[in-house]
Amino acid sequence: MKVLYVGPYFFRQAFQDFTISKITGYVFRDLYKAIEDFVDEIFWLTTAKIAFIEDELKEYQKLKVIKVYHPPLIGLNKIKAHIQFIRIGYDLCKKEDIDIVTNISGDVHAFDGLIMGKRAGKKVVVRVAGNQMASCCYRGKYDSWRKFLLPADEIRARMLYQLADKVIVMSQPERGRIAKYTNDEKICVCPRGIDTEKFDGKLAERNEGGSMMVLYIGRKSKEKGYDLAIEAAKMLEDTPQVKFLFVGDFEPKESKNIIFKGPVHPSQLVEIYSEADVVILPSRTEGLPQVALEAMSMRRPTILSHDVFDSLFPRELAVFCRLDPIDIVQKILYILKHPEESRVLGERGRKFIEENLSMKQMSVKYRQTLLD
């Protein structure tokens, strides 16, 4: 059996701008590892702008079955680049006799994968990591004269989910959203899961000195609610016990109570989580973010936006906040004043991940969904 992974079509500019990050979160090695012993060959079709993950590509080449293709599309406009990308993928499907076409994440290159795969008569499995249209709304893609893009994206989504043979989503709410477009029976909930051996906070003791580090990990993007976290941090400038650490595509700098660290290599994440006393995710839209799962696995209490996460996690696993900086501040101060409850939340989160979302469990489910 041969599997073709499509995408990412492009890497977020932040990962190219900061040379400290030699790997992007959009290349999930665990997906390949889950199937490598059960297939003959794995192919990966991405774009040419991958020099900044050259070291990671060398690691991929050590996997016994993977072959990487990154055709140059530089100099083409967006439409022509997509057409060329699809044509190259179609030719690859025919030449190598691919059995299954799938994607790493995101429905942009998933749609390209759908076209090249279906045109070549192959099975197509779409993997969806979040609500792309909701994210675009918060980033302003549909503002002003670009409002026509929303119905166009709706049409594309409907085609993508209806024509795909299977659809993998990260959560039950995502399953419900996509079931509006297609048959619910072909939708499978299968998040990536967490390496519970790696993300284990048992050696990271909580700060007992009365101070607290609040950690935000994510993009500097409104759908992630970074602006709400920053506003909350500013409100707590005169509370010396509370400090904030922002990790992501931020310009590295420090202010009175905030450290902007910029992006980090995934190998540094355990160390980053170990520095934190609480992790905050005031997201406006999400699939099932790895940050929340990693934080729970590390026994870190989490503050999660009620609008997004209330339907994803049991109430006893986290502190839930409104999309309001004032409410976020109140929840942060609550955790500061209740260290014992904070520890209980951390232990509950760890147990929840171990029992429900370990990478070993999810790898088996992913493999069965993709290959069966």
Claim to verify: residue 134 and residue 219 sit in the same structural domain: no
Claim to verify: residue 187 and residue 209 sit in the same structural domain: no
Which pLDDT belongs to residue 153?
84
**pLDDT band with cut points at 50, 70 and 90 for residue 104:** confident
Pairing of strands 319-321, 302-305: parallel
Claim to verify: residue 146 and residue 6 sit in the same structural domain: yes
- Beta bridge partners of residue 234, listed in sequence order: none
Residue 61 has pLDDT above 70, yes or no: no
pLDDT in tens, 238-287: 999 999 999 988 989 999 999 999 888 778 899 999 999 999 999 998 88
Which pLDDT belongs to residue 135?
78
Claim to verify: residue 213 and residue 347 sit in the same structural domain: yes
Query: Would you state the structure tokens that stand for residue 284, as one six-digit string?
Result: 């406006």
Cα 46 to Cα 87: distance, rounded to the nearest angstrom: 13
Claim to verify: residue 177 and residue 300 sit in the same structural domain: no
Model pTM?
A: 0.86
Residue type present at position 341: E
Return the CATH number at 90. Answer: 3.40.50.2000
Claim to verify: residue 283 and residue 332 sit in the same structural domain: yes
Claim to verify: residue 89 and residue 235 sit in the same structural domain: no
**pLDDT band with cut points at 50, 70 and 90 for residue 30:** confident
Which pLDDT belongs to residue 134?
79
Claim to verify: residue 130 and residue 92 sit in the same structural domain: yes
Contact 220, 263 (CB under 8 A): no
Claim to verify: residue 173 and residue 303 sit in the same structural domain: no
**8: preceding bond cis by omega (within 30 degrees):** yes
Contact 134, 154 (CB under 8 A): no
pLDDT in tens, 285-329: 888 889 999 999 999 999 999 988 988 899 999 999 999 999 999
Contact 265, 56 (CB under 8 A): no
Q: Select from 299, 304, 302 the least CA-distant residue to 346.
A: 299
Burial of 61 (0-12, 13-18, 19+ CB in 10 A): exposed
Claim to verify: residue 154 and residue 66 sit in the same structural domain: yes
**pLDDT band with cut points at 50, 70 and 90 for residue 26:** very low
Count how many domains the chain has. Answer: 2
The mean pLDDT of 179-185, rounded to a whole number, is 93
Which pLDDT belongs to residue 17?
38
Residue 108 has pLDDT above 70, yes or no: no
Domain that holds residue 348: 201-356
As a whole number, the mean pLDDT across the chain is: 85
**pLDDT band with cut points at 50, 70 and 90 for residue 24:** very low
Claim to verify: residue 58 and residue 146 sit in the same structural domain: yes
Residue 22 has pLDDT above 80, yes or no: no
Claim to verify: residue 165 and residue 245 sit in the same structural domain: no
**pLDDT band with cut points at 50, 70 and 90 for residue 16:** very low
3-state SS track over the chain: CEEEEECCCCCCHHHHHCCCCCCCCCCCHHHHHHHCCCCCEEEEECCCCCHHHHHHHHHHHHCCCEEEECCCCCCCCHHHHHHHHHHHHHHHHHHHCCCEEEECCCHHHHHHHHHHHHHCCCEEEEECCCCHHHHHHHHCCCCHHHHHHHHHHHHHHHHHHHHCCEEEECCHHHHHHHCCCCCHHHEEECCCCECCCCCCHHHCCCCCCCCEEEEEECCCCHHHCHHHHHHHHHHCCCCCCEEEEEECCCCCEECCCEEEEECCCHHHHHHHHHHCCEEEECCCCCCCCHHHHHHHHCCCCEEEEHHHHCCCCCHHHCEEECCCHHHHHHHHHHHHHCHHHHHHHHHHHHHHHHHHCEHHHHHHHHHHHHHC
**Regarding predicted confidence, which is higher, 353 or 219?**
353
